[in-house]
């Protein structure tokens, strides 16, 4: 019997090591399958001006925002210029760059506008009222807008404009938003116009 004790001890030790390994593998495998939730980030660019028009094209949620704007700004009309949607995970970053022919349009509408915006470090939390909220660090929006600085007549008699690009933009180091609630985040003045851009952010759970 004495000769069997080392064998029994070794067998017990190997069993403990095997079970520990199986347990660690199961925990690691379970951790791999736990994917953080994803969210949709919606940026809506609203333009306020005194041009003839109405709010017929605004969705119901933006009509509520435009009512808020009318109480603080003197514009007679508001229109939705564009909507951008991005999908982002917890602590993720979304970045967008593109060309637009609407923002900054006017006398120089034949020249494109270059848009750029990003939202970084998105986290979900509860605010002091127990509501689901999100915090991002940072939110950034920028555009290079064409501005006609001079004109000349070419050999064919056609009037040609010299266009210079002016950079506009805003950076918010930390922004907080309630879930699925359109939130006015920043405003920008449009060059060579009396209009203003309103940046409205919404964060909602991705389906």
Model pLDDT for residues 40-70, shown as the tens digit of each residue: 999 999 888 887 665 556 778 887 787 788 8
| Average pLDDT per consecutive 10 residues, the chain (207 residues; last block may be shorter) | 51 54 54 74 88 66 80 83 89 88 58 88 84 90 83 75 83 91 88 79 87
Q: Output the pTM of the full model.
A: 0.73
b/e sequence 27-60, b meaning 16+ C-beta within 10 Å: eeeeeeeeeeeebbbbbbbbbbbeeeeeeeebee
CA 65 distance to own-chain centroid: 18
Residue 145 CA, chain-centre distance (Å), reads 20
């Amino acid at each position: 019997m004495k000769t069997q004790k080392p064998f029994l001890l070794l067998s017990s030790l190997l069993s403990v090591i095997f079970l520990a390994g199986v347990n660690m593998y199961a925990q690691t495998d379970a951790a791999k399958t736990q994917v953080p939730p994803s969210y949709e980030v919606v940026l809506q660019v609203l333009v306020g001006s005194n041009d003839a028009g109405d709010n017929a094209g605004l969705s119901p949620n933006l009509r509520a925002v435009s009512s808020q704007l009318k109480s603080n700004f003197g514009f007679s009309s508001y229109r939705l210029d564009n909507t951008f949607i991005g999908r982002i995970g917890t602590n993720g970053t979304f970045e967008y760059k593109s060309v637009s022919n609407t923002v900054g349009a006017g006398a120089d509408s034949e020249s494109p506008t270059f848009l750029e915006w990003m939202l970084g470090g998105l986290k979900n939390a509860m605010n002091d009222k127990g509501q689901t909220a999100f915090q991002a660090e940072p939110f950034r929006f920028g555009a290079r807008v064409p501005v006609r600085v001079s004109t000349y007549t070419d050999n064919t008699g056609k009037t040609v404009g010299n266009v210079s690009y002016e950079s506009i933009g805003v950076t918010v180091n930390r922004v907080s938003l309630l879930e699925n609630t359109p939130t006015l985040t920043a405003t920008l003045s449009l060059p060579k116009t009396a209009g203003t851009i309103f940046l409205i952010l919404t964060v909602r759970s991705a389906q």
